[in-house]
Amino acid sequence: MTSHDEHLHAGHDHAGHQHAMHEGHGDHSGHAAHGAHGAHGAHGGAGVNAMAASATLHCLTGCAIGEIAGLMIGTAIGLSTGWTIVLAVGLAFLFGYALSTLPLLKSGLALGAALSIVLAADTLSIATMELVDNLVMALIPGAMEAGLVNVVFWIAMMIALSVAFVAAFPVNRYLLQRGKGHALTHEYHGAEPVQEGFRRYIPAFSSGALAAVIFAFMLGGLAVSAAAELGDDPAPAGQMEMQGH
């Protein structure tokens, strides 16, 4: 009897030990799963940030092209400051939409479908960028009236576009997290380009390349303006006296 009871007791202890090991293993698995989930969440956050930065840079490039083109045209044809701003904002939207539409057309979408997606994806981002950009330009003394051949204009434009990028980034991130904004166009950007008809002639521009071109253009404008202002400086007093003699 005693040995039988001892055998049952030993079996019970062994089963309890196995149960405890199983519970410990369950806790460990849950902890590992939690860690994996946390790592996945962190990776997902980084991915959203990268996509938001790319989307914001894409919009910024279109806005910069449109604004500079509008200001150049308005200045060339003698428009008032108000109408020049209207033209610049209109072209900013136009170029912003165009840069987002081209990749969709190249992926095979029809023009109407591509435009409807782009209007839904980019409008809030471009509107935020234009609002902030023009507000900053208006707050910088003399920026709006400076003209294209003026250092103040180009420095103000760089500051305004930088602030606009910072303002539009959280907007794009918010939209991406909810499957809106550039999330609507993201699936088409990785599609195999269609090499038929007019689509094979559609250029493929990366946002980084476009941003580099715009940055170089703005630096060029700043350099030309600085050179023009230095050239307009009056001669030193000693040189003027020598010319008088």
Q: Answer yes or no: are the C-beta atoms of 54 and 181 closer than 8 Å.
A: no
Mean pLDDT along residues 82-90: 90
pLDDT at 59: 86
Query: What predicted TM-score, i.e. pTM, was given to this entire model?
Result: 0.70
Which DSSP letter does residue 147 get? -
pLDDT above 90 for 182: no
Q: What is the pLDDT of residues 119-169, one digit of tens each?
A: 988 999 999 999 999 899 889 988 877 778 889 989 999 999 999 999 999
How far apart (Å, rounded) are the C-alpha atoms in residues 202 and 220?
28
How far apart (Å, rounded) are the C-alpha atoms in residues 168 and 241?
55
Burial status of residue 148 (CB atoms within 10 A of its CB: 0-12, 13-18, 19 or more): middle
The radius of gyration computed from the CA coordinates of the chain, to the nearest angstrom, equals: 31
